[in-house]
Amino acid sequence: MIKSELILRLVEQNPHLYARDVEAVVNTILETITAAMERGDRVELRGFGAFSVKHREARQGRNPRSGAAVAVEAKTAPVFRPGKELRLKLQDET
């Protein structure tokens, strides 16, 4: 599902709301989560999951083709950990 599909689905479920208002709400939520993660904060949505930032130190890696040692720079990566309710729903479907 992409953002526009999410907005359309929310508009269908809430016909009393304008599409532009639903889009503004979705954009605000995503921008707020992004801003919190930029600050290094953890964002937890109970029953759904938690968004956080993981810092990875610089290290020596290997080029898989040549086997030569390669310096891998330090980096920061977004991480999503599903909540218990979401995990259970996904397990029930398989």
Task: Give residue-wise pLDDT tens across range 21-47.
Answer: 999 999 999 999 999 999 999 999 999
Domains of the chain, by residue range, sit at: 1-41, 42-94
Q: What is the pLDDT of residue 93?
A: 65
> How many residues are listed for the chain in this entry?
94
Residues β-bridged to residue 55: 76
Question: Looking at the domain covering 42-94, what would its CATH class be?
Answer: few secondary structures
Amino acid at 34: T
8-35 burial string, b = 16+ CB within 10 Å, else e? eeebeeeeeeeeeebbeeeeeeeeeeee
Condensed to tens digits (0 to 9), the pLDDT of residues 67-93 reads 999 999 999 999 999 999 999 999 876
Q: Tell which residue, 29, 32, 77, 31, has the closest CA to residue 52.
A: 77
pTM of the model: 0.78
